[in-house]
Structure 1
Amino acid sequence: MSRTRIHNFSISLDGFATGEPQSLEAPFGHAGQRLHTWMMRTQSWDPDGSDGVDNAYAERHGPGIGAEIMGANKFGPPGWHEDPDWKGWWGPNPPFHTPVFVLTHHTRPPLEMEGGNVFHFLEASPAEALETARAAADGKDVRIGGGATVVRDFLAAGLVDHMHLVQVPIVLGRGVRLWDGLEGVEEAFDVETVASPSGVTHFTFTRKTS
């Protein structure tokens, strides 16, 4: 069976994966891009970027992925569902190149874009969404793309096989926190850590097989 994977998911020292308030002008609220600077400085993002440990993790994001599941707040700013012309943040050729399943209470017909990107809008539980995404992934893995609420829901449901988490040395103080309600979740995983010269720490959670 295909695996469920999370990659390059960044959180602050106090566990927030985004700041507030989120808007069209500030997708990550007061956090800005500070949670993702480590990734934007790698060759995976910028051809002139670094090829060190951060890049080695960042480039694992895409291989073997056949579908993505994301939350409504990753697809657009608050209220995007009221704009029938909203097609996401990424322009005419989004970076996923797979079917993408957006979990939302405001469903709409599928949105087909360039590069093999097709967005499907579902109102479903994590288990139901994963079953649908696995069927579309055709044997490949399914990536849980975020945001924090969706990742938390999939962890709580025991549906994550592999998670790459990046702790960034900033304190946000407010926003959407990843770990709320997940006490003891680490017990289901083997956890490895690697510190990077950039200041971030990479955590790899691999679900235990026994």
Structure 2
Amino acid sequence: MSAVRVHNFSISIDGFATGEGQAADAPFGHAGERLHEWMFATRSWQGEGGSIGADNAFAERHGPGIGAEIMGAGKFGPPNWQDDPDYRGAWGPNPPFHAPVFVLTHRPRPSIEMEGGTTFHFLDASPAEALDRAREAAAGQDVRLGGGPTVVRDFVNADLVDHLHVVQVPLLLGRGVRLWDGLEALEEKYDIEAVSTPSRVTHLTFTRRR
């Protein structure tokens, strides 16, 4: 069976994956882009001028083998995007997914076909139900769980995540949405590896025990 993977999921050292005050011009709230600066510096993100060290090696694992993605409403757009019937996501006409994307929302709408092979499907579904749909669309490839933190937490709690890559950034946010709340004793289900890099981030990899 295809695996469920989370990649490049950045959090502060106090566990917040998004800051407070999310808006169209501030998708991560008061955190800004600080949680993701390590990734923006890599070759996989910026091309030839980017770094090619360990950060890049982790960042490159985001794409290969992925046949579909699941994301929450908060990743697809700013608060209350559901009130705009013409809203088509935060990535322009050619989103970077190039695969079916399943957006979890309590206010579903018709699917939207974009350029480059991305089609957004909108579901009001449990994690298990959404995963069944995504696995069918992925046609044997893996399913990536794109976030945000509430969605990742719900899928981990439902015991549906096989690979979880979390990047701990040396930054205190103090407020926002935390990843780890309610996820006690993950070490009993996952093998955990930690790799620190010169960018001062720590890559935490959780691999489900078989």
TM range (shorter): over 0.9
Aligned to 1:157: 158
**8 A contact 1:155–1:185 mirrored in 2:** no
Alpha-carbon distance in 2 for matches of 1:55, 1:182: 28
Aligned to 2:31: 31
Aligned to 2:43: 43
**8 A contact 1:38–1:54 mirrored in 2:** yes
How big is the shift at 1:84?
A: 1.1
Structure 2: unaligned runs, 5 residues or longer: none
Aligned to 2:81: 80
Alpha-carbon distance in 1 for matches of 2:208, 2:37: 28
Alpha-carbon distance in 2 for matches of 1:106, 1:186: 36
TM-score when normalising by structure 1: 0.99
Deviations 1:137-172 (A, max 9, x none): 000000000000000000000000001110000000
Aligned to 2:19: 19
Query: Between Structure 1 and Structure 2, how many residues are aligned?
Result: 209
Alpha-carbon distance in 1 for matches of 2:107, 2:134: 19
Aligned to 1:145: 146
Alpha-carbon distance in 2 for matches of 1:199, 1:165: 14
- Runs of 4+ aligned residues of structure 1 deviating over 4 Å after TM superposition are none
Alpha-carbon distance in 2 for matches of 1:192, 1:99: 30
Q: Which amino acid aligns with 1:179?
A: W
Superposition pairs of residues 185-196 of structure 1, within 5 angstroms: 185-196=186-197
How big is the shift at 1:175?
A: 0.2
Alpha-carbon distance in 1 for matches of 2:195, 2:181: 24
TM-align CA RMSD = 0.5
1:121 aligns with 2:107: no
